[in-house]
Amino acid sequence: MKIIPALDIIDGKCVRLSQGDYNTQKIYNENPLEVAQQLEGAGLQYLHLVDLDGAKAQKVVNYKVLETIASKTRLHIDFGGGLKSSQDLKIAFESGAQQITGGSIAVAQPEVFLQWLGEYGPEKILLGADCKNRMIATHGWLKQAGWEVLDFIKTYEKQGVTQVVCTDIAKDGMLEGPSFGLYEEILKETSVQLIASGGIASLEDLKKLKEMGCEAAILGKAIYEGTLSLTQLASVC
């Protein structure tokens, strides 16, 4: 199972939120590159980079952070947040992203998301299925769509999606464990490669996700709060 640290960016700084609430932001480092280099130095290979300013602004904002990390590390970067147009997508890939995660775009403009999927392939275009009370949330988790999460994933699997990043917003940043029941259901009902995100707090959480069959796990606050060390994470990879 891949271990994927998350870097959430506001005003060019590395932050974390609790349950997606922008009012709970805590700055962990004003230099995201420094954090990325620490991750790489510990032996980690992947990074989930989220432009929270972009998610709110409905366009890519922090692409310079992406560009800097991509040019100064060898991390495999999945980028999300504010990807609302083909120009945004172009900026992301030209700035060094190897993959992108599209969530709000898949809800608001499915034809655009499917165009991206057809043009770039399911290896590069991941579906973001972030939910609260099983309902898909969009626009930096500030709005709720009328999609039930499992129906959402199944619909896009039929359209060619193979990789899904799923976050239970109620778990995110709480360090109380991920949404195992929801992930078990997704793995049982679909054949997607599931990337679990939100609430991961221990090696036991990671072990259980791996045993369940998750393709990867994204975690952030557990790293920045020191609940899990980079050495521990590198040993799981």
Tens-place pLDDT, residues 75-105 = 999 999 999 999 999 999 999 999 999 998 9
- CA angle 129/133/114 to nearest 5° reads 20
Q: Give the domain range for residue 189.
A: 2-236
Total domain count, the chain:
1
User: Would you call 151 a catalytic residue per the annotation?
Assistant: no
Kindly state the average pLDDT of the residues 145-164: 95
Kindly state the average pLDDT of the residues 188-211: 96
pLDDT of residue 98: 98
What is the phi/psi pair of residue 121, to 5°?
A: 90, 155
Kind and range of the H or E run holding 220: none
Amino acid sitting at position 228: L
- Spatial separation of the C-alpha atoms in residues 222 and 71, rounded to whole Å: 26
Kindly state the average pLDDT of the residues 149-169: 96
Kindly name the residue from 51, 53, 78, 130 that is annotated as catalytic.
130
pLDDT in tens, 108-139: 999 999 999 999 999 999 999 999 889 998 76
DSSP letter for each residue of 183-194 = HHHHHHH---EE
Position with higher pLDDT, 8 vs 16: 8
Nearest to 32 by CA among 2, 70, 87, 85: 70
Half-sphere exposure of 93 (CA within 13 A, CB side): 12
User: Would you call 130 a catalytic residue per the annotation?
Assistant: yes
| Burial readout 42-80 (b: 16 or more C-beta within 10 A, e: otherwise) | bebebbbbbbbbbbbbbbbbbbebbbbbbeebebebbbb
Does position 187 have pLDDT exceeding 60, yes or no?
yes
Could you tell me the two tokens for 36? 């990325």
Q: Are 40 and 73 a contacting pair, CB within 8 Å? A: yes
Other beta carbons within 10 Å of 129: 29
pLDDT of residue 235: 79
Is pTM beyond 0.85? Reply is: yes
Kindly name the residue from 8, 78, 168, 205 that is annotated as catalytic.
8
Amino acid sitting at position 27: I
- Spatial separation of the C-alpha atoms in residues 198 and 176, rounded to whole Å: 9
Q: Report the percent of the chain where pLDDT is more than 90.
A: 77
- Spatial separation of the C-alpha atoms in residues 142 and 163, rounded to whole Å: 24
Half-sphere exposure of 44 (CA within 13 A, CB side): 28
Q: What is the CATH number of the domain that holds 6?
A: 3.20.20.70
pLDDT of residue 145: 67
Q: Are 72 and 64 a contacting pair, CB within 8 Å? A: no
Could you tell me the two tokens for 114? 């499917």
pLDDT of residue 171: 84
Kindly state the average pLDDT of the residues 9-14: 94
Q: Are 210 and 174 a contacting pair, CB within 8 Å? A: no
